[in-house]
Amino acid sequence: MDTKTNPEYVAGNGLIHRRHLLGLGLAGIGSMAAGSVFAADAGMLSIPAWSKTPGNGPSEYGAPSPFAADVKRLAGGPSATAPGSGVSRTPLHLLRGTITPNSLHFERHHSGVPAIDPAQHRFVIHGLVRQALSFSYEDLLAYPMVSQIYFLECSGNSGANTVATAGDTNAAAIHGLLSCAEWTGVRLSTLLAEAGVTDAAAWITATGADAASMGRSIPLSKALDDVMIALYQNGEPIRPEQGYPMRLFVPGWEGNVSVKWLTQIKVADAPAHFRDETSKYTDLLPDGKSLQFTYPMGVKSVITSPSGQMKLLRQGIHEITGVAWTGHGAIRRVEISADGGRTWADAHIEAGQQHLALARFRLPWQWSGAPAILQSRATDSSNNVQPGRDSWMAAYNPANRYHYNAIQSWSVSAQGDVKNVYA
């Protein structure tokens, strides 16, 4: 079968079986007879100016092409009331892999980025331990380390879509408090074993060296499982914005518990009830009560292309692509709909480490020029299925903005304009 003229449609409104991802190219089906949309002639082999003279030599620290200068974080303005507080968001719609470059990792600071001299910094473990310990940065560098790829998501991510009217914004503005990096560091269990936690220990409470003194409580079972003191981010020393010289990294859990600029861990028998686990990051329920802790991030996905404020410039084949993640294991399935959830097709998921990491999904779609509503729905290895917006909203108080993981809907108009909608 010639799949270029007879693709296998697997769901409504032009979704094509994922097995055709590589074979289809870009041409509109039916318009193939005239040849490729990219037909070349001899004149196109002429030599451009930049090939005729040597370019710049090597540099000490690389920078993106000036032609890619729009691939930037979406940063908010300075806070008038809380100096240094704020966020910048990863431009998810401008990235195509699963790893976030360090310069584009999202930021969330409660009192700005402290200028820490690693030679002066101390990290102390105390509380319910047989021997309190104090480490310098150099001390920690001498310990055995692990490297793992993990996503990090703020529990406030996507909260924009909990408000009554869908904002006409892009994927970064809605979902950009999400990044994924390879984190390298010392397992907390190694250091806790050295300190010797006592029988009464059930929690750890971690504090940062920023002016906010941000602190969070974490059950000891998680602390001994996969939590690390991260020292490297995608291979280089962790960036100041991400916690230099060291941060706690708590895989799969809401970003807030990954305390940056880590300076203290106190082993305790109960949570500390820090400001950031009482006044914030608690989910408000319909009856006005709040959940005390919501640690793992829910199963979630978002189509990053096409996505909000993009424009489809031609009919024919487009690759629908995006990212999926879960705090409950690995992504097992991502389904895509082009007809607002009436019919669904399985997307292709890239192989690679998917446990608590971003997964990249793709599916070919033939856009006929008719209006469409694009959605993705993820399922994880614990059989959690990403909820629709209505069911998520029904589970919480209308004022709750945290832990929103509902299905994102992007409408495509007949003119090709892509918009954030509630469907």
Ligand X SMILES: Nc1nc2c(c(=O)[nH]1)N[C@H]1C(S)=C(S)[C@@H](COP(=O)(O)O)O[C@H]1N2
Residues near 294 by Cβ (< 8 Å), separated by ≥ 6?
155, 254, 281, 282, 283, 402, 403
189, 222, 249 from 226: Cα distances, Å: 8, 7, 9
Residues near 210 by Cβ (< 8 Å), separated by ≥ 6?
109, 110, 111, 112, 113, 114, 260, 261
93 binds, among Mo ion, ligand X, none (CB under 5 to 8 A by kind): none
CB 417 within 8 A of CB 311: yes
CB of residue 159 vs ligand X: minimum separation in angstroms? 12
Give which of 203, 156, 199 is closest to 177, Cα–Cα: 156
Restricting to residues 85-114, name those near Mo ion by CB under 5 A: 108
CB of residue 154 vs Mo ion: minimum separation in angstroms? 3
User: In terms of CB distance, is 108 or 260 closer to Mo ion?
Assistant: 108
- Exactly one of 29, 154, 227, 323 binds Mo ion (CB under 5 A); which one? 154
User: In terms of CB distance, is 136 or 294 closer to Mo ion?
Assistant: 294
137 binds, among ligand X, Mo ion, none (CB under 5 to 8 A by kind): none
| 109 touches ligand X by CB under 6 A | yes
Restricting to residues 280-299, name those near Mo ion by CB under 5 A: none
User: In terms of CB distance, is 208 or 271 closer to ligand X?
Assistant: 208
CB 93 within 8 A of CB 172: yes
User: In terms of CB distance, is 178 or 323 closer to Mo ion?
Assistant: 178
Residues near 111 by Cβ (< 8 Å), separated by ≥ 6?
82, 83, 84, 85, 210, 211, 212, 214
Residues linked to residue 379 through DSSP beta bridges, in sequence order: 333, 385
| 380 touches ligand X by CB under 6 A | no
- x-or-dash string of contact with Mo ion, 228-257, rule CB under 5 A: ---------------------------xx-
110 binds, among ligand X, Mo ion, none (CB under 5 to 8 A by kind): ligand X
Give Cα 261 distance to the centre of its chain. Answer: 21
User: In terms of CB distance, is 11 or 178 closer to ligand X?
Assistant: 178
335 binds, among ligand X, Mo ion, none (CB under 5 to 8 A by kind): none
261 binds, among ligand X, Mo ion, none (CB under 5 to 8 A by kind): ligand X
- x-or-dash string of contact with ligand X, 250-289, rule CB under 6 A: -----xx-xxxx----------------------------
CA atoms lying within 13 Å on the CB side of residue 408: 35
Restricting to residues 164-223, name those near ligand X by CB under 6 A: 208, 210, 212, 214
258 binds, among Mo ion, ligand X, none (CB under 5 to 8 A by kind): ligand X
DSSP state of 323: E
CB of residue 157 vs ligand X: minimum separation in angstroms? 8
| C-alpha dihedral sign at 18, 22, 28, 34 | negative
- Exactly one of 106, 183, 244, 325 binds ligand X (CB under 6 A); which one? 106
134 three-class SS: strand
CB of residue 416 vs ligand X: minimum separation in angstroms? 33
Residues linked to residue 89 through DSSP beta bridges, in sequence order: 74
CA atoms lying within 13 Å on the CB side of residue 288: 0
| 174 touches Mo ion by CB under 5 A | no
What whole-number distance in Å separates Cα of residue 203 and Cα of residue 226? 15
- Exactly one of 95, 98, 107, 227 binds ligand X (CB under 6 A); which one? 107
CB of residue 36 vs Mo ion: minimum separation in angstroms? 47
What is the Cα gyration radius of the chain? Answer: 24
Q: How many residues bind ligand X (CB under 6 A)?
A: 20
DSSP string, 99-123: PPPGGG--EEESS------TTT--E
Give which of 203, 227, 233 is closest to 216, Cα–Cα: 203
CB of residue 81 vs ligand X: minimum separation in angstroms? 15
Give Cα 179 distance to the centre of its chain. Answer: 3
Interacting residue ranges for ligand X, rule: CB under 6 A? 105-110, 152, 154, 208, 210, 212, 214, 241-242, 255-256, 258-261
Interacting residue ranges for Mo ion, rule: CB under 5 A? 108, 154, 255-256
